[in-house]
Each structure stands twice: as C-alpha cells, then as structure tokens.
Amino acid sequence: MTDKEKKIPYKIYLSENEMPTQYYNVRADMKKKPAPLLNPGTLKPMTAEELGHVFCDELVQQELNETDPYIDIPEEIRNFYRMYRPSPLVRAYCLEEKLQTPAKIYYKFEGNNTSGSHKLNSAIAQAYYAKKQGLKGVTTETGAGQWGTALSMACSYFGLDCKVFMVKVSYEQKPFRREVMRTYGASVTPSPSMETEVGKKINAEFPGTTGSLGCAISEAVEVATSTEGYRYVLGSVLSQVLLHQSVIGLETKIALDKYDIRPDIIIGCAGGGSNLGGLISPFAGEMLRGEADYRIIAVEPKSCPSLTRGKYVYDFCDTGEVCPLAKMYTLGSQFIPSPNHAGGLRFHGMSSIVSELYDQGYIEARAYEQTEVFAAAEEFARCEGILPAPESSHAIKGAIDEALKCKETGEEKTIVFGLTGTGYFDLTAYQQFNDGTMTDSIPTDEDIAASLAKVPQFPGNETK
Amino acid sequence: MTDKEKKIPYKIYLSENEMPTQYYNVRADMKKKPAPLLNPGTLKPMTAEELGHVFCDELVQQELNETDPYIDIPEEIRNFYRMYRPSPLVRAYCLEEKLQTPAKIYYKFEGNNTSGSHKLNSAIAQAYYAKKQGLKGVTTETGAGQWGTALSMACSYFGLDCKVFMVKVSYEQKPFRREVMRTYGASVTPSPSMETEVGKKINAEFPGTTGSLGCAISEAVEVATSTEGYRYVLGSVLSQVLLHQSVIGLETKIALDKYDIRPDIIIGCAGGGSNLGGLISPFAGEMLRGEADYRIIAVEPKSCPSLTRGKYVYDFCDTGEVCPLAKMYTLGSQFIPSPNHAGGLRFHGMSSIVSELYDQGYIEARAYEQTEVFAAAEEFARCEGILPAPESSHAIKGAIDEALKCKETGEEKTIVFGLTGTGYFDLTAYQQFNDGTMTDSIPTDEDIAASLAKVPQFPGNETK
C-alpha cells in the first residue's frame, strides 16, 4: 500500500523544540518596500514618536522595521504559543478521495484554540509588549468577535486590562462571543457608546444606530490615547501583525521540509491580509530571493473584492478617517459590504505588504460568492470533520478548484492552504445556507466607482 | 533551569504509529463482573438476539463480551481517529503556577474536534459497525447536543443516514447545535414529534410539552426498530461505549509511560460514565491485576449525585422505561435534575462498569455545586487558555482541590484529569455565571427518597 492508501502521515505535528524562535519579516527581502504609513495631516511618513501615542513602543519599532529579516520571539510569547502551537499541518486525504483528484492537499489548521482562529498569534505578542512597557491595559474594536476574543485571552494571561468596543449590532446578535470575552475578564462595550466623545457625537447624530467597525475603532483609539497607561491594538492590516502571523508560514515550511514536501500552490483567504501574509511570508521570501517559485493565491469574497476590483492608492484604514493613511488595494474607506455577507473579510482595504506583493506579481487573487464558499465549507466539513469558519472557507473553495483542475489535467500538484479558524460562532450563517435562504451580494461597478471617488486625492493617488 | 521552570514538555503528542490499535475491555480483568442488562419483561439477562433488534450486531457482541481484554480497532475507525487523535496530554504549568502547588497537573484534552468532546470516539465506532452491517442509517436522541453532533459527523463520514430526536426545549434554545448537525447532513426532529406513535401520544397527553431525554429515547428507539435497515445508537452508559472510550485512557497511559510519569490521582467527570470509564479503564485494569495503585476520583454535580447519593440497584436506563434494566448507582429513572443546572451530567444513573468498580472500592466519588464548578472553569480558562465545557469543569474543580491539598501538605503528587470538551455551546451558562445570576440546586433527601421509591422492586433491589 502507498502512503496515500494508508493515509499517513495524516497530521504533521512539530515537536516543541522545532517551533520557530524568530518571526520572519518579509519586507527585509523586498527590493521595493511597501509604501510607508502617512500622517493624514502632513502627508509625511508617520514617525515612531507619532505612532507611539497610539501603539506600544516595541510594536512601533516592528511596524517601521523594513531591514531585519528575523526578529526574536520573546520566551514569554513562545511559552504561550506552546499552549496551542505548533498547529497541525494536515493532509486532506478524505477531501482528495472525495474529489478524486491526483493533487495532494494540505492545510495548516489554526482553529484549535479557544479564540477559534489565528488571531491569537498576534494578540499574545501585542499583549506581551504592552505588559513589558508597563502599561495597564489596551483597547481595541471587534466586529465578528474573533479578534476581541483572542485579545481578551491574551490580556487575561498577562494580567492586562482589556477594553473592547464591539459593534453594537454584533454585541446584540453575537452574545456568545461577548460572553467568551467577559469570561476572560475583558470589558465589552457596545459601540457607539456614551463613554467617548466620538460615541456621544455619533449617538446624537444618528439615534438608534447599530454602529460600525469604523466607529468602534474611533472609540477605541480615543480611549487609548486619552487614558494614562493605555494603548490601542489592531488585529490585522498592520505590518507588525503580519510579522507575528509569520509563525503560521514558518511552521508550515518547517513541517513541509521535514517531510520533503514541496508545495506548488499556496492559498489563503484575504480580508485585511494578516492570515494570508503570515502564511505566505517565508514562501514569498524564497521567491523574492530567487530561491524558489510558487503560485500564491489570495481568495477574497466577491462582496468585498479589494484585490480583484480595488485600486492601489493611499487611503484611510478606517471609516472614521482618524487612522494613518496606508497605500493599499482599497475599495475606498467608505465602502460598506452588503450586510447579507455573513463572514468576516469585510475590510475595505488590504495590508500594504500583501498589496505590494500583489502589485509586484508575486500573488494572484480571485473572488468567490458566499453561497459557493459555504458549499465548499459543507463539503469539507463532511469529509474532513472540521467545521470551518466562513473566512477560511474561501481558501477551501480555492483549494478545491485547483484540485479539480489537477483532476482534469492529471497533474499531481501539491496544494497548501490556510484553514484559519472554526465556524462555531457562525452558525446563523450556516443555518441560512442549510435553509437555502443565503444569497450572494456583488457590488456593481457603479457602487465601487462611487466609493473609490470618495478616496481623497492624495499625492500619487492619480497614478493608478 | 528545571523543566518546570522551562515549562517543557508542555504538550505530549503521540505520533500516529504510537496510537492504540486495540480497545481495552476492563471487564475482562474484573473478578466480579458488572451485572448483566435484564429484559424488563422476563427479568432475565438480555440475549444477543433481543439486543440485536435495537443495536448493531457487532456492538451487541461488544456489549456482551466480558472476557476478551483487547478488541481490535478496525482500520477504518483508526483512520478517522487520526483526523483528530491522538489528543494531547497537556501539563497545566500555568494552573500549577497560579495555585502555587507542588503538585504536577496533567490533563487529557478531548475537545479539539468539531463535535467539541470525547463523544466522537464512540460515535465513529458505532457508525462504522452500522455501515459494515449494511444498514441504511441510525437513530439517536440528544439533549445538550454533544452526542448528536458527534454522531452526525460520524454518519456523514460513512455515508449513513442519521436521524436525531432532539429534546424540544434544546432544539429551540440551542439552534446552533441543531445547525451543526444539519450541516453534517443529519435530520434533526424536535421531540416529542408527530412522527412516532409515542410522540403523538405524549403530545396528546401533554399539549405544549417541551420534551425530555426519556421521551426522545423512546422516539428514537421506535423509529429504529420499526424502520427497515435502521438501528438505535446510544452515546454513554453502555459497556460498548466505555470500550470505545478506552482510547482516551490508553493514549494517556502510553504518553505517561513514554515520559516515565506515574500518576497518583486520576480524575474524571461522571454523567453516564463514558468519559470517566474510558479514561480510567487501563489504570483500573492495573489495579484489578494488582500491578499498580492509583486514587481514582469520579466528580459529579450535586444536582444529580448518582454515585454519592444514589442506590446500587436495577433500574430503567430511560425515563420512558422502554430500555433494558441495568444494575447501577441510580437516583431513580424518574429523577429529573433541576432545570437551573446548566451543563450535561444530568443522567439519573451511572454506567454499570463504573458502578461496579465504585462498589468494589476502586473509585471514590465527590460532588460539587455548579457555581464552584464554573469558578474553577473560569480560573482554568484564564490561565490555560481553553474554555472548558461545564461537564469537564467538574474534573477541573476536583483537580484544583487535590492540588490545593498538596499545597498544604507539601506533597508533589501527580494528578491527571480528563478535559472532555469545550464550552463554546454553553455560553448561556457562562453568561449567567458572569452576570452573577447562576444558582445552585441540590435535591433534598426527601426528593431523592421519593424518586428512589418509584424504582420497581426487581429481585435483588432490596439488598442495598
């Protein structure tokens, strides 16, 4: 019998001493670097001092570090990682069998921790640096709740205060997410609240509003910058977050190398870009250094298609337009995906690292409708056991499509995709899918053009 | 630095080729065997033929097998196990540190699969034997939903039809559990339904009833026995289920032996007894063969204290009194735990294997109130990361208490407990705890005496 027939190895676990001890900073290997964050007032690159009002000092250094390829992971962070890492690299034998494909499919599964996703990788790092700086606590916003859950776990571990502004509609519709955060000791405030100036203003202007991520960010930033001993933390988009998430890609590469497996295609879902960027960093690094060649595919939802239909310009990272400007593929900071889109991946822009790699041709992108994504999720769940998060299911759909192409051509390609999390808190969406009431929502060209027309005409924005 | 200071190894994973290839049948090593199931009509031991009307043939053989200590795990089941097993044995370094105890605490974590608990270990075995027998499908009941979820996953894997009767109140209050089952292709019917004779009868007698586990069992058994190609499956209590769950204990023992760790105390939560029985089987086997000595502690809720306050007699396994009689520690088949008890562990009786081992003195038992159990759950979650199921948290509370005793005495005992599952679907209970509205419910002596008085006076029931 072949290994395929015997289905071994099914899961590749690294031992604890094989885990990465350094993050990999892909920017160091990029000849053309991602564009710097700009101060929206001066349109000059944000300085460490300016960023230090909002973010922890060491995270600011990481944000600005474009030269060091490797940055040590402090022992305290590695100790926490060992509570749920290394995460398994799983061979999807059952899915291969079901698809009758000659392709070999592997997935890196990040869902086996209580936050349910890869977000914990960066949450624990950010909480550690906040603690090290002697801060009392951190603030953040959360929509779907994965990031808020991860951060509350991390703060609980380090004894930091954690203040989460949760978009009011999610606060009410996702009480279970809220309760996980409270169990870990976080305070969770529905946003807009009456605790901040910006919250009061929005409540006065729009009575009965159910909030937005942009508003929650503004509230979290206001509390962080106006409270002694607090800083603001963010769970995606930033280069520091991609740096922390590189543990996903590093572990994947170590596991593949250990078994002498060379991937042909690497697939990740893309919202703000933290999971995709983390997964592909070491592989993109090899490409940038001319050591290897891979196809890297970013999969996004058709309802929020920043890479496939956005524009590569400077834009605000938040709807409230209080954050620095980032050069990124964007649909415009005022773009709001249709509310009938169930999962995450609703961010209007894309991490500047991923955007630049995409612009340089190292990454391809494709977009799927949510009903086909949930069909892929169901197919995967039924044969591979795991109930995937809607976000992760975009990558599943991408992997299935590539595997079916191999079936046509007979090519034995090796596909690796990132399974970022579990769908236990997304069952309202699964119910819609099960009931056949889920619909797709694809913005029209006019929608996108109208949103992009609102992007301010910063210098350089005309060029593309 | 010591290993404790370095916190290594944090998790002990076995490799796939170290996984058990045989189940361990503890009855083979018991000189006095558990009492046989009785036919409630004849009061004679149930024959294979009688049991074969309800259960799959091979499972009937396992149910009746008291002599073979080891029973091969078919390759198809082992292949599925490799999708989520071996489960990690984790050293609770952070909990030890928080408690400032010299004790070494380990837990075997069974929650890293989509069903969220150890139930999948038996579900996949039962589905396999049903498939092997050429059946079309199986029926079962579910209350909290862990078992129904596990069975729907297993049936989906083997292409079996899965019909779940879900207690109506749970069907309405736990829609997410229902949707997981539907995603795996199971049909989920609120019980009592209008699809069975017994359901129609109960609906007519008690209009508006929200159902009970006893009624759901009766409906599932009726459909299984009246439909060609169907059998009924059960997720706890039965000896076959404890046999399948022995993989928990076997893996635990292999991992401990590999690192030369000798446990002093083994702790498990106890509802129907499947997790506890599975975890302790290999260790109890050593005790029965005179090869080793351990303290084994069963932890149950004070709201449903079958071991600590029940009677060791023959009783019905179900409230509907349609199932065979089992000799077990029981509160009486008509005992209904207070509805303010949040978690599982609500079964009125206890597996006959666990009951007999307890009666012979191999197991001690203790009971806790639910508020102290949730306090232990929160303490564990905050330092060890994992959000535990309420059921599992009984074992956590037991382990913490033993570790605190070690702190007093200075003894460096090694404690192993079973962490059976995660609490993602129990957040309504966590919310009560977070809000301070959770209360305890302890039946009075009169309550229990009244319930036990309804146990039929079968021969031998007077003796204890």
B351, B242 Cβ separation under 8 angstroms: yes
pLDDT band at B462; cut points 50, 70, 90: low
- Cβ distance A431 to B180 less than 8 Å, yes or no, reads no
Query: What number of other Cβ atoms are within 10 A of residue B318's Cβ?
Result: 24
B231, B260 Cβ separation under 8 angstroms: no
Compute the mean pLDDT over every residue in chain A, rounded to the nearest whole number. Answer: 93
Q: Copy the structure tokens of residue B77.
A: 């089941």
The residue with greater pLDDT, B345 or A300, is: A300
The residue with greater pLDDT, A191 or A334, is: A191
Q: Write the CB contacts of A17 (distance below 8 Å, at least 6 apart in sequence).
A: none
* CA angle centred on B382, ends B378 and B388, rounded to 5°: 50
CA distance from start to end of chain A: 55
Suggest the residue from A18, A162, A180 to mutate for an interface test with chain B (most B CBs closer than 10 A): A180
Q: Which pLDDT score, from 0 to 100, does residue B318 have? A: 79
**Alpha carbon of B142: minimum distance to chain A alpha carbons (Å):** 18
Strands (E), B170-264: 187-191, 230-232
Quick one: DSSP state of residue A263?
Answer: -
Q: Which pLDDT score, from 0 to 100, does residue A462 have? A: 60
pLDDT digits (tens, 9 = 90+) for B334-349: 888 877 777 678 889 9
Compute the mean pLDDT over every residue in chain B, rounded to the nearest whole number. Answer: 93
Which residues of chain A are within 8 Å of residue B176 when distances are taken between CB atoms? 424, 427-428
Q: Which residues pair with A203 in a beta bridge?
A: none
Say if residue B41's pLDDT is above 80: yes
Say if residue B209's pLDDT is above 90: no
How does DSSP assign B335-372, residue by residue? ----TT--SS---SS--HHHHHHHHTTS-EEEEE-HHH
- Name the residue in chain B with its Cα closest to that of A120: B385
Mean pLDDT of all residues in B379-384: 95
- Cβ distance A180 to B387 less than 8 Å, yes or no, reads yes
Quick one: DSSP state of residue B209?
Answer: -
Strand order in the sheet with B230-232: B187-191, B161-167, B137-142, B230-232
pLDDT band at A213; cut points 50, 70, 90: confident
Q: Please report, for residues A46, A47, A60, A237, B456, the alpha-carbon distance to residue A63 in angstroms, rounded to integers and kept in the order given.
A: 11, 11, 5, 11, 73
Rounded CA gap, A144 and A163, in Å? Answer: 16
The residue with greater pLDDT, A386 or B211, is: A386
Query: Closest by alpha carbon to B183, among A342, A377, A92, A112?
Result: A377
Q: Copy the structure tokens of residue B147.
A: 């078992």
Q: Copy the structure tokens of residue A221.
A: 């930033």
Which residues of chain A are within 8 Å of residue B179 when distances are taken between CB atoms? 427-428, 430-431, 434
Percent of chain A with pLDDT over 70: 98
Q: Which pLDDT score, from 0 to 100, does residue A206 have? A: 86
**Alpha carbon of A413: minimum distance to chain B alpha carbons (Å):** 22
Strands (E), B38-81: 70-72
- Cβ distance B175 to A13 less than 8 Å, yes or no, reads no
Q: Which pLDDT score, from 0 to 100, does residue B4 have? A: 75
Q: In terms of DSSP bridges, do strands B325-330 and A187-191 run parallel, antiparallel, or are they unpaired?
A: unpaired
What pTM did the predictor assign? 0.94
Q: Copy the structure tokens of residue B250.
A: 């076997």
- Name the residue in chain B with its Cα closest to that of A14: B13
Q: Which CATH number fits domain B3-115+240-435: 1.10.600.10, 3.40.50.1100, 3.20.20.70, 3.40.50.720?
A: 3.40.50.1100
Classified by CATH at the fold level, domain A120-232 comes out as Rossmann fold (3.40.50)
Q: Which pLDDT score, from 0 to 100, does residue B464 have? A: 46
Classified by CATH at the fold level, domain A3-46+70-115+239-435 comes out as Rossmann fold (3.40.50)
Which residue in A16, A83, A381 is closest to B385 by CB distance? A83
pLDDT band at B218; cut points 50, 70, 90: confident
- Name the residue in chain B with its Cα closest to that of A111: B112
pLDDT band at A464; cut points 50, 70, 90: very low
Suggest the residue from A183, A187, A373 to mutate for an interface test with chain B (most B CBs closer than 10 A): A183
Which range, of A2-6, A368-372, A447-451, B197-201, averages the lowest pLDDT?
A: A2-6
pLDDT digits (tens, 9 = 90+) for B100-120: 999 999 999 999 999 999 999
Range of A13-17, B9-13, B302-306, B460-464 with top mean pLDDT: B302-306
- Name the residue in chain B with its Cα closest to that of A157: B383
Q: Copy the structure tokens of residue A429.
A: 């969406």
Q: Which residues pair with A165 in a beta bridge?
A: A141, A189
Q: Which pLDDT score, from 0 to 100, does residue B402 have? A: 98
B379, B400 Cβ separation under 8 angstroms: yes
Quick one: DSSP state of residue B190?
Answer: E
- Name the residue in chain A with its Cα closest to that of B427: A176
Q: Please report, for residues A232, A392, A421, B42, B378, the alpha-carbon distance to residue A246 in angstroms, rounded to integers and kept in the order given.
A: 22, 17, 16, 67, 31
Quick one: DSSP state of residue B429?
Answer: H
**Alpha carbon of B435: minimum distance to chain A alpha carbons (Å):** 10
Q: Copy the structure tokens of residue B332.
A: 């009486």
Indicate the SS3 state at residue B193: coil
Q: In terms of DSSP bridges, do strands A22-24 and A70-72 run parallel, antiparallel, or are they unpaired?
A: antiparallel
Rounded CA gap, B182 and A379, in Å? Answer: 13
Sign of the dihedral through C-alpha A45, A317, A368, A240: positive
Indicate the SS3 state at residue B171: helix
Amino acid at A147: W
Say if residue B47's pLDDT is above 50: yes
Q: Copy the structure tokens of residue A275.
A: 């999971």
B189, B163 Cβ separation under 8 angstroms: yes
A163, A137 Cβ separation under 8 angstroms: yes
Say if residue B167's pLDDT is above 60: yes
Quick one: DSSP state of residue B314?
Answer: E
pLDDT digits (tens, 9 = 90+) for A63-83: 999 999 999 999 999 999 999
CATH 3.40.50.1100 occupies which residues in chain A? 3-46+70-115+239-435, 120-232
Rounded CA gap, B252 and B241, in Å? Answer: 18
Rounded CA gap, B460 and B463, in Å? Answer: 6
Which residues of chain B are within 8 Å of residue A378 when distances are taken between CB atoms? 183
Which residue in B94, B157, B182 is closest to A383 by CB distance? B157
pLDDT band at A461; cut points 50, 70, 90: confident
CATH 3.40.50.1100 occupies which residues in chain B? 3-115+240-435, 120-232
Q: Copy the structure tokens of residue B272.
A: 């129907």
How does DSSP assign A290-331, residue by residue? TS---EEEEEEETTS-HHHH-EEEEEESSTTS-SPEEEEEES
Suggest the residue from A387, A392, A419, A426 to mutate for an interface test with chain B (most B CBs closer than 10 A): A387
